[in-house]
Structures are given as C-alpha cells and as structure tokens.
Amino acid sequence: MPRTSSTVSFDRTLGLAVLRTPHSTYAVRVGTDGSPRHLYWGPALDADGLRALPGAASPAASSFEADAAPDELAPQTGARFGPAGLQVRFADGTRGAQWHFTGHHAEGGELRLRLTDRHYPLAAELCYRVRPDSDVIERWTEITHTGTEGSGPISVDRCDSAQWTAPALPEYRLSHLAGGWNSEFQLQRDRLPVAETVLTSRRGLTSHHANPWLALDDGTAGEGDGQVWSTALAWSGSWRVTVHRDPVGRTTWTGGFGHEGVGWTLGPGETLRTPVFAGLYTEGGFGAASRAWHTYLRTHVLPAPDRDRPVLYNSWEATGFGIDHPGQLRLAGLAARLGAELFVVDDGWFGARTSDRAGLGDWTPRPSAFPDGLRPLADEVHRLGMDFGLWVEPEMVNRDSDLYRAHPDWVVHAPTRDATELRNQLMLNFARPEVEAWALRTLDRLVRDHAVDWLKWDANRVVTEAGWPGHPDPDRLWIDHTRAVYRVMDRLRADHPGLRIEACAGGGGRVDLGILARTDQAWTSDNTDPVDRIGIQHGFSQLFPARAMAAWVTDSPNVTTGRTTPLRFRFHVAMAGALGLGGDLTRWSEEELDEAAALVARYKEIRPLVQHGRQYRLSGPGGVTAVHYASGDGADHAVLAWRPTTRFGHPPTALTLPALDPAARYLDLDSGRSLSGAALVRHGIDLALPSGDCASRLIRLRRSA
Ligand code: DGJ
C-alpha cells in the first residue's frame, strides 16, 4: 500500500536520516568520521529493513581500497579517490574538508545535516526536501565561511549539489540526452562503463549538446517495467555530472553547477548555495519514471500549473528579419482565423535589426518597420482575440548597437583576449548589478508600454573569454549571470502577474528544471521538420512534460531539412506538445487554412489530455511510434501515431494500448465504434494508416463502461 505523504526523520542514536516518499525510501547514516554516508535508495523499506542494512565497512583488508560507504558529498580528504563533490582550499594551502557532524534540522519536508570542518572556518549543510505527493527528492548544499574578517578567503574549486548512489548491481545502463543545434534531446542509452563518465556543459548555458538529466537501470528496464534511478539538475548555466562506476560495482554520481576549473572565492560570513539536484527512484520502467517527473514538474516546478498553454502563432519562419507592421498584421489576421490564441512577433522588430549584424541591445521598435511603435499592432492583436507576445534576447548585444557604443564594458570579455563573436553578438555580463538593473528596467518598460502578455526570451550564443575586468573573482560570472537571469524573470513575473515567458536558446539550448521554474514552456528546437521532431520530442519527454514542449507547424518543404510532409502529419506531430503555428500563412491555400483551422480546433479538444494528462510512449510494428495521453481519471484518451517511412508496402498494423483498462469498453469518438479494452490492450487498435510516407493518425477514445 503506497504512502500518501512524504516524511523526513532523524534518529540521533543511530545517526540515521530517513526520507520516505509515497513509493520509495532514502537513507543516510552519519559515519564515525562525521561524514554523512549513503545507506539506501530504492523501494519502500521499513525500520527493520533499514536496521539490517550493513553500515560503512572496509571492503577488503587492503591498503589500496577506500571506505566502501559512498559519501553524500565527497569532501576530498581521507582515502577517497573518486570524484570529489566538494573541493575547497584554505588560505594555508590545505585542501578538502574533514567533518564534524554538529546536528540536524528537520521541519516539514526538509532535512538539513549540519557539518563543520574540524580545523577551518567552514560549515556545510547537506539539504534534502520531499514533497507530499511525489517520489522526487530535492537535494542541495550550502557552505558558509564562518570565520571573521582577516581569516582569509576559502577557495571553492567545486561545490556540487549532491552525490547520488545506486545499489551495487552487476550491470548498469546509462540513459542521457545529447545533441546539437537543430538536433537536441537525442536519447542515448548505453552500458555504463567501469570508468568516470562526465556529462557536462562548458558553455554558460544548459546547452543543446547535453542536458543535466540521466537515468540508470540494470540494463533490462523497458518503457513499462524495471527499476530506474534518475536525476535532474535545476540549473541553466554550465554544469557537470560525473558518474563513477568502480571495478567493485559501486555506482555513484556527483553533480552541480559550473564546469571544471570554475571557482568561487568564499569570503568571511559568505554562504554559497547550490541549485537543486533532484532524484527519483521508480519501478515501472522509463515510462513510469517520465510520468513521475512530468507530475513533479507540473506540480512543483512550472509556474501556473492549471493554466493551459495557448496555441500560439510565431512569425520567425514566415518573415525572418523582413518584419513590419502591415506584414505582421496580415499574419495576425490569418493566425486568428486558424484559432491561434497568442501572436508572437519574433526577432527583427527593434533598433537597427534588419539582419543579425545589428541592433541587439536597443529594445525600441524600429520606426521604419513600426512608424507608430508596436502598440497599434498589440491593440489589433488583442482586438482579434489573441494575446500579444514579443521576442527578446536581453542577455545579448551586437557591437553595432547604441547599447554597446554606450557601454562596451558591459560585455563578458577579457581585454587581453579576442572577443569571439557568435552570430555577430557578444554576451552582456548580467552578473554586473548595473546590467541586471538595466535589463529589468528595459523589459519592464517594454511589457508595460506595449501591453505584452508573453515574452519569448532567447539566447543565441554561449560564454567565451569569460572575463570581468577589474573584478577580483571574475569566475563568479559563470554562476551569477544565471542567477541574475533568474532574478530578472522572477521580478518581471511578480510585477506583471499575467505575463508568461517562453524559454529559448537558439531552440532547446536552455531547457532544465531551473529555467522552467520561471518560464511556462520552452522552444524545443529550431528544427521544425516533423520527422526529426519525433526523435527530439521522444528525448524531451524523458524528463519534461508535453505542456512545456513548444511545437510549431511550419511550411513544407521544411526550411532547414527541405523535407516535404503533409499538413496533417505536421499537425499530428506538433499536437503532442504545446501546439503552435510558425509557417508563412500568406502562402497557404484556402484548403490548407481550412484544414489547419479544423486541426487546431481538434487540438483544443485534446489539449486537457496532452497538457494535463499522463503520457505513455508507444511503438508498434512497421516503424510506427505513438504517444498516448490519458486523463487523470482514465476516462479520456488521445493517441497520436506516426509512421514517417513506409516499409515494403506492408499493410498498417495494430498498435497495442497497454495503459487502457482491459475490463473496460471504449468508444472511438471518430468512428463511433465500441471497442473492448482487453482487445485494445492485447491485440491493439487498427491504425488504418494511409499508404505512403508520413502517415499519421489521431485516435480519441472515451471509456463507455
Ligand atoms: C533562435 C530561435 O530559436 C528562433 O525561434 C528565432 O527566435 C531566432 N532565434 C531569432 O533570431
């Protein structure tokens, strides 16, 4: 019987901390050396079971082996040879912390284990939080310089949020997400080597190339069964997670913000708090793990959990930089006809921004494009019944801009090094208080003056030559830039309660639990080709829910891949997320516009399932993949099935729907047929896909008995 609540407790006599979630238990024992050691993470275990677990013991009578019990945060002292999550240097050159356990604090769902160094003025708290309705455990670290002025700074070479440990199983398989621009979130699933495996971004952004999520299983888990340990870091700058599988089978991973070499100087009285590194143990395979993450994100991370994500229209693929008032108005009229609820003016509306060479930083409407400013367009969009959205890229600047000419010192740069330009732009140093204040002022004015309901916050370059001239601790910008971005977003949302923000970084270059705590959805990828999108969305869905996954229907042939696909297929793929429209509607035929309007209307019918329901990833024979969304009460179902390529002209086959109730009957809302749950679960539903490539189908079922 699963628990309905989560608890934290600490037994002083045993030095045992226990976190209980509805379906899992996590336990830590404070070692005799004062260091908190990992004891257990897995299915719910009662007190007797926990008592029976072996404590820290030496694995072999050998002077070459370390203590067997993994740390909760390895402090770089003693016979520890794995990756150290905490790496500090004191003024006399001594490295590492040696702990004295000073106590705990447990309140609500939060537990803190308090440590002080035995010799130096350093205190640490290892922090844990559980939520009543979730198996996710949130962890982070706080370290404080407890000395007085004159005791000298402490250099922090690394301060991870947490180290996680999975039980010693004979094999492990690592799942993670890798990719690049236009190819984000490609799921990788390989045997975990006996080695240190580093997943990282050194770019100052979460990155397109790796995402700070991973999952471990024993190599046999599938979508529907198996134990899975997974973690996700809530951070949107550089990060690093090191997975260590040692030859005796110990499997740990330590992770946090910053990549290797990024340091922090901790002054007397100062505290460094890391972002949350969240962990989840699930049974029921990768599907159950994803659903538990989705629920956690919807309930505890994303803002406005109950609010539907709107069907948006975005002008980027239609107009690029060739943007003006009449052109946008024409698109807005067509978008409204199709049923869009939000019209977003993308790049090119401001300053001298007629190409990507100029204008970034000058956030005022370009008079030649918008002679009376943007307000008349915003008013017209509102009159058409849509919200008004605007693209911004506040962290960036072109050299050819008034902002750069006025404040060349505001950019991230090292004066003795080249200032590498990426997309002809430099990055503003948001860690500088005056830059943060400027950004907040500028965006606040923009939102107010132009009645903006939605900001698409883009970031089209990463950090290079990370200098901060004149600052004694320039590395801070790697952390403080991201924190300032968070603060600006948080302040804007607080001051404009109706405002929504879309995260974007040249597509999906900054999608993580940190940015999603202050944005409503993320632009998944600049690649809008529906065939490529199936794989991108599959990877995205491992951690992130469909409501956070912005997906547009664009023109055919696709602008980046040149592939031609039917409108219906493009829609069916995009309907698996937060549907948007991004094509040049002025070139769509009347028939296409009518078909699109009908599909938008259909999406709105299934939106409660897609955006609030449970998601099941499916695959069938003949190259068919699908996602199934079920309402919380199991009554309503929508299945989107796609077959990008036809194989040998084989007839379409049935797709089994294992999440349905075999004891129930279901009404197919389109054909009116009554179907047996048992047949749908065991034999499947006949997809009746048309012949040819890029065939797709939306199936809607309602429980009838
Ligand atoms: C990158 C984004 O991903 C695109 O959607 C678009 O907004 C461009 N930037 C505009 O420069």
370 touches 377 (CB < 8 A): yes
Sign of CA dihedral 299, 304, 307, 311: negative
Nearest 5°: the CA angle 653, 654, 659 is: 150
* Per-residue pLDDT reduced to its tens digit, 390-407: 999 999 999 999 999 999
* CB-ligand 1 contact for 296 (6 Å cutoff): no
User: Residue 133 region, left (φ>0) first, then alpha (ψ -120 to 50), else beta?
Assistant: alpha
Q: What is the DSSP letter of 472?
A: S
Give the confidence band of 59 by pLDDT, cuts at 50, 70, 90.
Answer: very low
Q: Which residue has the least CA distance to atom 1 on ligand 1? A: 506
- Taking the centre of ligand 1 as the mean of its atom positions, its distance from the CA of residue 346, in whole angstroms, is 7
* CB-ligand 1 contact for 580 (6 Å cutoff): no
* CB-ligand 1 contact for 529 (6 Å cutoff): no
* CB-ligand 1 contact for 460 (6 Å cutoff): yes
Q: Which residue has the least CA distance to atom 2 on ligand 1? A: 506
**What is the pLDDT at residue 1?**
59
Q: Which residue has the least CA distance to atom 9 on ligand 1? A: 506
Q: Angle of helix 590-612 relative to helix 325-338, nearest 10 degrees?
A: 70
Secondary structure (H, E, C), 690-702: CCCCCEEEEEEEE
* CB-ligand 1 contact for 347 (6 Å cutoff): yes
List, by residue range, all CATH 3.20.20.70 domains of the chain.
312-544
Give the confidence band of 295 by pLDDT, cuts at 50, 70, 90.
Answer: very high
List, by residue range, all CATH 2.60.40.1180 domains of the chain.
616-703
Q: Look up 495 and say whether it is catalytic.
A: no
**What is the pLDDT at residue 679?**
98
* CB-ligand 1 contact for 523 (6 Å cutoff): yes
CATH superfamily of 616-703: Golgi alpha-mannosidase II (2.60.40.1180)
List, by residue range, all CATH 2.70.98.60 domains of the chain.
74-301
- Taking the centre of ligand 1 as the mean of its atom positions, its distance from the CA of residue 530, in whole angstroms, is 18
Q: Give one DSSP letter per residue of 317-346, joined into a string.
A: HHHTT---HHHHHHHHHHHHHHT-SEEEE-
**What is the pLDDT at residue 60?**
47
* CB-ligand 1 contact for 507 (6 Å cutoff): yes
Structure tokens at 319: 């107009």
- Taking the centre of ligand 1 as the mean of its atom positions, its distance from the CA of residue 462, in whole angstroms, is 14
Closest CA to 72 of 31, 121, 123: 31
Query: Cα–Cα distance between 365 and 180 in angstroms, integer?
Result: 32
Query: Cα–Cα distance between 354 and 582 in angstroms, integer?
Result: 20
Closest CA to 90 of 103, 77, 78: 77
pLDDT of 56 above 90 = no
**What is the pLDDT at residue 2?**
63
- Taking the centre of ligand 1 as the mean of its atom positions, its distance from the CA of residue 536, in whole angstroms, is 17
* CB-ligand 1 contact for 442 (6 Å cutoff): no
Amino acid at 80: R
- Taking the centre of ligand 1 as the mean of its atom positions, its distance from the CA of residue 391, in whole angstroms, is 8
Structure tokens at 536: 């991108």
**What is the pLDDT at residue 65?**
65
- Report CA-CA distances (Å) from 466 to 134, 272, 481: 39, 20, 11
pLDDT of 351 above 50 = yes
Sign of CA dihedral 90, 95, 98, 103: positive
Q: If you average pLDDT over residues 106-118, what whole number do you get?
A: 97
* CB-ligand 1 contact for 391 (6 Å cutoff): yes
pLDDT of 510 above 90 = yes
pLDDT of 57 above 60 = no
pLDDT of 69 above 90 = no
* Per-residue pLDDT reduced to its tens digit, 649-696: 887 679 999 999 999 999 999 999 999 999 999 999 999 898 899 999
From the candidates 160, 400, 453, 458, which is the catalytic residue? 458
* CB-ligand 1 contact for 509 (6 Å cutoff): no
Q: If you average pLDDT over residues 466-473, what whole number do you get?
A: 95
* CB-ligand 1 contact for 453 (6 Å cutoff): no
Q: Which residue has the least CA distance to atom 10 on ligand 1? A: 347
- Taking the centre of ligand 1 as the mean of its atom positions, its distance from the CA of residue 460, in whole angstroms, is 8
Secondary structure (H, E, C), 635-704: CEEEEEEEECCCCCCCCCCEECCCCCCCCCEEEECCCCCEEEHHHHHHCCEECCCCCCCCEEEEEEEEEC
CATH architecture, domain defined by 312-544: Alpha-Beta Barrel (3.20)
From the candidates 117, 526, 532, 636, which is the catalytic residue? 526
Q: If you average pLDDT over residues 224-230, what whole number do you get?
A: 98
**What is the pLDDT at residue 66?**
61
**What is the pLDDT at residue 4?**
67
* CB-ligand 1 contact for 185 (6 Å cutoff): no
Phi, psi of 299, deg, nearest 5:
-90, -35
Q: If you average pLDDT over residues 221-243, what whole number do you get?
A: 98
- Taking the centre of ligand 1 as the mean of its atom positions, its distance from the CA of residue 507, in whole angstroms, is 7
Q: Look up 372 and say whether it is catalytic.
A: no
pLDDT of 170 above 90 = yes
497 touches 480 (CB < 8 A): no
**Ligand 1 atom, smallest distance to 346 CA:** 7
**Ligand 1 atom, smallest distance to 526 CA:** 3
**Ligand 1 atom, smallest distance to 505 CA:** 3
CA terminus-to-terminus distance, the chain: 27
Provide, rounded to the nearest whole percent, the portion of the chain with pLDDT above 70.
Answer: 97
Q: What is the DSSP letter of 132?
A: T
**1-10, 187-196, 671-680: lowest mean pLDDT where?**
1-10
CATH number corresponding to 74-301? 2.70.98.60
- Taking the centre of ligand 1 as the mean of its atom positions, its distance from the CA of residue 429, in whole angstroms, is 21
**What is the pLDDT at residue 58?**
44
Tell me the average pLDDT of the chain: 96
**What is the pLDDT at residue 620?**
87
Query: Cα–Cα distance between 693 and 623 in angstroms, integer?
Result: 11
Amino acid at 143: I
Closest CA to 415 of 453, 471, 480: 471
97 touches 76 (CB < 8 A): yes
Q: If you average pLDDT over residues 429-447, what whole number do you get?
A: 98
